[in-house]
Structure 1
Amino acid sequence: MTKLLMLGGTEFVGRALTDDALARGWDVTVFHRGRHAPPTGTRAVHGDRTAPGGLAALAAPEAGEWDLVVDTWSGAPTAVRDTARLLRDRAGHYTYISSRSVHSYPGVEDAAEDAPLVDGSPDAESTAYAEDKRGGEIAATDAFGDRALLARAGLVLGPYENVGRLPWWLGRTARGGPTLAPGPKDLPLQYIDVRDLARWTLDAAAAGLGGPYNAVSPAGHATMGTFLEACTAATGGAADLRWTDPARILDAGIEPWTELPVWLPEGELHAFMFGADVSKALAAGLHCRPVEETVADTWAWLRSIGGTAPLRPDRSAKGISPEKEAALLGR
């Protein structure tokens, strides 16, 4: 039986990875701070990677050894460095869930894994997201070499989301009425369902793959049109999508990505966020489910927890205010 150590494992990406591993019948140990209950069927080991001595419980001989480790850390690279060094002789393979943000902005068209990267250091204290993720990549690779898989995710959506993007759109379309829909309808998106990310990551780790992979859907797997139409359909069809020219939205001082989650107008940033070459991951078995399934399952999850998604304490709330939306639509 495959033995997996999940570093994290109780929220969003980590939770999806843990659930997928349990469904495979794997033996799963979850190392976390104890702020959330671990999924049923796991063995919990508690520790805080940011605190002195925070790895003590994991360092204890009785903690065990593992075939695979998956690390979702997004803070200071020193946490990845210390954990990977501790585990390099007690685990066969180490996966670090990284981000396409490690690529230098504005980047190159159809950026593959070998596109230019930001600077990062495994010895850095927390600085900025991109540099932290790059430092984590280096830390994992320094300790595990070609036994380190770097899964560079992009926009992640799906059940358990605690960032507030898809949940906000679902709440907005459920409320119904005239709804600001940022155009154009055929604007391509590139994202990954958290469960598809989990499945591919564990398959790739079990196969012993190493090095970086852009772990997102092909560009245009969904569009703003199919995404928002899926949200409207899943929540009962009460939303009247009012497709609006991007220039009008920007002229009104509305912020892409934060006030209108997921949406970026065409241009340099859109190309950077939604234009990755994912042929390497596709060749390694990545499969992406339809956007309609992602949206419907996330709505079902939201309803099961009372309709309000949890929000990570280090993330700000998303979405445009009703007053600001109405003002634009009424112009």
Structure 2
Amino acid sequence: MKLLMLGGTEFVGRAITEDALTRGWEVTVFHRGRHAPPPGTRALHGDRTAPGGLAALAEGEWDVVVDTWSGAPTAVRDSARLLSGRAGRYAYVSSRSVYAYPAPAGQGEDGLLVGGSPDAAATDYAEDKRGGELAALDAFPDSALLVRAGLVLGPYENVGRLPWWLNRIARGGPVLAPGPRGLPLQYIDVRDLARWTLDAAEAGLDGPYNLVAPVGHATMGSLLDACAAVTGGAGELRWTDPAPIIAAGVEPWTELPVWLPEGESYDHMFGGDVTRALEAGLKCRPVEETVADTWAWLRSLGGRAPQRGDRPAPGLDAAREAALLGL
């Protein structure tokens, strides 16, 4: 199989590229040249946002294109149009954010969607992702695979959520652990996302798929317990009810990464129906493996994970944490 990876040097794109290489696929990585792609790939350079930035893709044919773009939908539109007729399938890594808020728990791929246009400039994340979907569908009406990922964790993470928890717990001392311990989570390991996406593309699947683990695959407790175990147990998890955390003005998801208290936002993020993806072969590794491998990768970088410039660094200020714990 011949894969064209649009991106391929960071997080989701890198995981997909590495998975394709392990399959023996011929991989072309199109990127801006800011980071080195995995060894064994052919690199083409260009900036999708610049005039003439797709010139390096003017020739060539591929079995599969994978696109993770999250900015202006016009970039997906122009790439997909250029590659139409020269690629067998276009897999667009979208997001469950394309569902109109609040999505009820148990919602499948037929839920109400946000607005979006393939011809739009960058607006907000949800509409940009929906516009990207529409752009892929327009150019590949019968062969566009829409991978609606939820929370993505694992090695190469450049958003900082799991790395923050690992570094915080490794630092030791009392750690504010937002409860309840048994709160079910729904996320996808980046490598499971990569494997499923390429399997699905190779099998000729198209249309939208919610791509996260089943509800309850992990809990807040199993996630943080795994973090404590791999970092040596220096951190003392102090489970705290949601009410005082919210009353103190702490922002769920950003100041306490991954965590959302039960309610509309929780159902929207952690309540997706993944029956369709499971029936199409989705398999999810244990949370302990995701955490251990992310910690090993993080340690290889000296504890300093890369951080996307368009996302704020997550985490709770130490003084605010201490105050909440009464220290």
Could you state the TM-score of these two structures normalised by the residue count of structure 1?
A: 0.98
Aligned position for 1:253: 249
In the alignment, is the contact (CA less than 8 A) between 2:105 and 2:270 conserved in 1?
Answer: no
Residue correspondences, number: 327
For residues 250-307 of structure 1, give each alpha carbon's deviation from its aligned partner in whole angstroms, at most 9, with x where no partner exists: 1111110010000000001000000000000000000000000000000000001111
Instruction: Report the equivalent of 2:155.
Output: 159
- Please report how far the alpha carbon of residue 108 of structure 1 lies from its aligned counterpart in structure 2 after TM superposition: 2.5
Rounded Cα–Cα distance in structure 2 between residues aligned with 1:79 and 1:263:
32
**Distance in 2 of aligned mates of 1:21 and 1:192:** 18
Correspondence 1:38-187 to 2 at 5 A = 38-59=37-58, 61=59, 64-187=60-183
Aligned to 2:275: 279
Match of 1:212 among 194, 208, 215: 208
- What is the alpha-carbon distance in structure 1 between the residues aligned to residue 93 and residue 110 of structure 2? 17
Partner of 1:265: 261
Give the letter for the 1:259 counterpart.
E
SS at match of 1:240: strand
Normalising by structure 2, we get a TM-score of: 0.99
The aligned amino acid for 1:15 is R
Letter aligned with residue 26 of structure 1: W
Q: Which residue of 1 aligns with 2:233?
A: 237
Unmatched tracts of structure 2, length 5 or more: none
The alignment partner of 1:145 has SS state of coil
Deviation string for 1:207-251 (max 9, x for gaps)? 010000001000111000000000000100111100001001011
* Deviation readout 1:124-176 (Å, 9 max, x if unpaired): 00000000000000000110012000000000000000000000000001011
Q: Secondary structure at the match of 1:146?
A: coil
**Structure-2 separation of matches of 1:281 and 1:328:** 40
* 1:17 maps to 2:16: yes
> CA RMSD of the aligned region, Å?
0.6
Q: Which residue of 2 aligns with 1:199?
A: 195
Where does residue 31 of structure 1 map in the other structure?
30
> In the aligned structure 2, how far is the partner of 1:145 from the partner of 1:125?
22
How far the C-alpha of 1:107 sits from its partner, in A, is: 1.8
Identity in percent: 77
1:228 aligns with 2:224: yes
Task: Output the amino acid matched with 2:266.
Answer: H
- Distance in 2, Cα, partners of 1:9 & 1:114: 30
Structure 1 unmatched runs, 5+: none
The letter for the 1-side match of 2:2 is K
What is the CA deviation profile of residues 26-68 of structure 1, one whole-angstrom value per residue up to 9, with x for unaligned ones? 0000000000011100000000000011001111x3xx21000
Counterparts of 1:127 and 1:45 in 2: how far apart (Å)? Answer: 28
Measure, in 2, the Cα distance between the counterparts of 1:212 and 1:327.
45
Alignment partners' CA distance in 2, 1:109 and 1:9: 33
Secondary structure, counterpart of 1:107 in structure 2: coil
Taking the TM superposition and a 5 Å limit, the aligned residue runs for 1:290-329 are 290-329=286-325
Partners of 2:105 and 2:244 lie apart in 1 by 27
Return structure 1 stretches of 4+ with deviation > 2 angstroms.
Answer: none
CA contact (8 A) 2:89 2:140 kept: yes
